[in-house]
Structure 1
Amino acid sequence: MRSFLRAPLAVLAMLGMTASPVAAEKMLLSNSLNLCQQDSSLQASLFNVVYTPGNNSASVTMVATSSVQGKVKFDVEASAYGYTFLRQTLDPCDLGLAGLCPMVADKLSFGFNLPVSKSASDNIPGIAYQVPDLDATVRVRVNLTGTGETIACVEADISNGKTVNLLGVKWATAVIAGLALVSSAIINGLGHSNTAAHVAANSLALFGYFQSQAIVGLTGVRLPPIVAAWTQDFQWSMGIIRVGFMQTIFTWYQRATGGTPSTLFDSLTTVSVEVQKRSLQVARAGLDLAKRSVAMMPKSALTLFKRGNITTGSGSYVVFGIQRVAFKAGIESTNLFLTGLVFFWLFGLFTAGAVVAFKGLLELLGKRGLIKADRFEDFRNGWITVLKGILFRVCLIGFPQMVILCLWEFTQVDSPAEVLLAVIFFFGTLFTLCWGASKVIRLARRSIAMHRNPAYILYSDPQALNKWGFLYVQFRASAYYFIIPVLFYTLIKGMFIALAQRSGVTQAISLIIIEAGFLIAGSVLRPWMDKSTNSINIAISVVNFINAIFLFIFTNVIDVPLLVVGVVGVVLFVLNAVMSLVLILMVIFSTALSLIRKNPDARYQFMSDDRASFMKSQSQLNATTELDALAATARGDKLGYKAAFDNESLESSDIRKNNEASGSYSISATESQNSFYPGAQPHAPVPLFPAQRGASPLRESVVNPQASGVSLAQQRTHTASPASGHRSQHNASPWQRGAGYDH
Structure 2
Amino acid sequence: MLFSVARLRLFLSALSLLPVVTAHQKTLFTSSVSYCAPPENLLVEQFDIAYFPANNSIVFNVTAASVQANVNVSANLFLNVYGLRPFNHTIDICTLFGGALCPLPLYNFSGHETLQLPSSVDITKHLPAIAFQIPDLEAFVQLTLTETSTGDLKACLQSTLSNGWSTHQPGVSWALAGLALVTLFSAIWQSFVPDSLAPARLLDLLGLYQLIASSGFFDLNYPVVYRAFAANFSWTMGLFSQSAQSSMQRSINSLRHHTGGRLADASQGGTTALVNRKLSPYSQPVSGGAAAFAIPPSLIASAKALPKVNLASLAARTASAVEAPSVRDVQTVTGSSSNLLEAGVPIYANTVGIATANAFMTAFFSALILLAVAAFVLAVSYGLIILATRRSQSRWLMAIKARFPIIAREWGLRIALICYFPLVTFALYEWTLKDSWLVIVISVITFLTIAGIVGYATFRILHHLRRSSPYLLPTDLPAMSPLFAHYRAPRYFYFAFPILALFLRAVLIAAGKNAGTAQIILVVIFEALLLAAYIVCRPGQTRRADVLGVFVGIVRVACAGLLIAYIEPINLAPIPRVAIGFVVLVVFSIAVIVMFLNALWNLGLEHVWRRRPFNALRSRSGSSTGDDQSALEKGANSEKSKSDVRVSAVAVDERPRNPTPTHNEEIDPAVRQTYPAFTPTTTIAEPSSAHSTDTSTSYGHQIQSRWRLATHTRSSSAADSTITRTPLSTSYGPSPVDDTRPPSPSQFGHSRQPTIEEERLSHP
Alignment TM-score > 0.5, same fold: yes
Matched residue SS, 2:48:
strand
CA distance in 2, matches of 1:622, 1:332: 45
Partner residue of 1:432?
453
Partner residue of 2:61?
60
**CA contact 1:75–1:140 (8 Å) conserved in 2:** yes
Partner residue of 1:458?
473
Cα pair distance change 1:373/1:280, threshold 3 Å = same
Fraction of identical pairs, as percent: 20
Cα pair distance change 1:600/1:44, threshold 3 Å = farther
CA apart distance, 1:143: 6.8
CA apart distance, 1:207: 1.0
CA distance in 1, matches of 2:339, 2:65: 11
Gaps of 5+ in 2: 302-331, 650-660, 674-697, 703-764
Partner residue of 1:344?
367
CA distances 1:663-694 after superposition (whole Å, capped 9, x unpaired) = xxxxxxxx9446xxxxxx9834599xxxxxx9
Query: Equivalent of 1:395, from 405, 408, 416?
Result: 416
TM-score (norm 2): 0.68
Do residues 357 (structure 1) and 380 (structure 2) align? yes
Partner residue of 2:89?
89
CA distance in 2, matches of 1:622, 1:335: 42
**CA contact 2:8–2:143 (8 Å) conserved in 1:** yes
| Pairing 1:363-442 to 2, within 5 Å after superposition | 363-369=386-392, 373-375=394-396, 377-442=398-463
CA distance in 1, matches of 2:216, 2:378: 33
Matched residue SS, 2:533:
helix
**CA contact 2:259–2:438 (8 Å) conserved in 1:** yes
CA apart distance, 1:126: 6.8
CA distance in 1, matches of 2:449, 2:615: 37
Partner residue of 2:586?
574
Partner residue of 1:663?
none
Matched residue SS, 1:349:
helix
Partner residue of 1:302?
none
CA distances 1:225-245 after superposition (whole Å, capped 9, x unpaired) = 221111111111011125643
Matched residue SS, 1:311:
coil
CA distances 1:472-497 after superposition (whole Å, capped 9, x unpaired) = 11222222112222111001101111
CA distance in 2, matches of 1:330, 1:418: 19
Matched residue SS, 1:32:
strand
Cα pair distance change 1:140/1:155, threshold 3 Å = same
Partner residue of 2:646?
641
Query: Equivalent of 1:188, from 187, 191, 194?
Result: 191
CA distances 1:638-687 after superposition (whole Å, capped 9, x unpaired) = x963599xxxxxxxxxxx97xxxxxxxxxxxxx9446xxxxxx9834599
Matched residue SS, 1:382:
helix
Do residues 326 (structure 1) and 326 (structure 2) align? no
CA apart distance, 1:293: 8.9
Query: Equivalent of 1:526, from 538, 553, 563?
Result: 538
Letter in 1 for 2:88: Q
Letter in 2 for 1:78: L
Partner residue of 2:208?
209
Letter in 1 for 2:177: A
Cα pair distance change 1:560/1:672, threshold 3 Å = closer
Letter in 1 for 2:637: A
Partner residue of 1:708?
none
Cα pair distance change 1:205/1:20, threshold 3 Å = farther
Matched residue SS, 1:86:
strand
**CA contact 2:180–2:202 (8 Å) conserved in 1:** yes
CA distance in 1, matches of 2:67, 2:511: 38
Q: What number of residue pairs does the alignment pair up?
A: 621
* Backbone CA RMSD of aligned residues: 5.0
CA distance in 1, matches of 2:60, 2:92: 19
Partner residue of 1:113?
113
CA distance in 2, matches of 1:476, 1:67: 78
Do residues 8 (structure 1) and 20 (structure 2) align? no
CA distance in 2, matches of 1:401, 1:208: 11
CA distance in 2, matches of 1:399, 1:553: 29
**CA contact 1:222–1:554 (8 Å) conserved in 2:** yes
Partner residue of 2:637?
631
CA apart distance, 1:377: 4.2
CA apart distance, 1:395: 0.8
Query: Equivalent of 1:683, from 659, 669, 677?
Result: 669
**CA contact 2:32–2:161 (8 Å) conserved in 1:** no
CA distance in 2, matches of 1:68, 1:216: 52
Letter in 1 for 2:168: N
Partner residue of 1:250?
252
Do residues 179 (structure 1) and 182 (structure 2) align? yes
Partner residue of 1:221?
220
CA apart distance, 1:619: 12
CA distance in 1, matches of 2:648, 2:262: 57
Bigger Rg, which one: 2
Partner residue of 1:32?
32
**CA contact 2:9–2:49 (8 Å) conserved in 1:** no
| Pairing 1:148-159 to 2, within 5 Å after superposition | 154-159=157-162
CA apart distance, 1:121: 6.1
- Greater share of residues in helix: 1
Query: Equivalent of 1:131, from 129, 134, 139?
Result: 134
CA apart distance, 1:599: 5.5
Cα pair distance change 1:66/1:114, threshold 3 Å = farther
**CA contact 1:279–1:555 (8 Å) conserved in 2:** no
CA apart distance, 1:564: 0.8
| Pairing 1:286-325 to 2, within 5 Å after superposition | 290=293, 311=334, 317-318=340-341, 320-325=343-348
TM-score (norm 1): 0.70
Matched residue SS, 1:31:
strand
Cα pair distance change 1:202/1:618, threshold 3 Å = farther
Cα pair distance change 1:10/1:336, threshold 3 Å = closer
CA apart distance, 1:574: 2.4
**CA contact 1:289–1:312 (8 Å) conserved in 2:** yes
**CA contact 2:10–2:29 (8 Å) conserved in 1:** no
Partner residue of 1:509?
521
CA distance in 1, matches of 2:73, 2:625: 83
Gaps of 5+ in 1: 299-308, 449-453, 607-611, 645-655, 658-670, 675-680, 688-693, 699-743
Letter in 2 for 1:181: L
CA distance in 1, matches of 2:146, 2:646: 89
Cα pair distance change 1:412/1:108, threshold 3 Å = farther
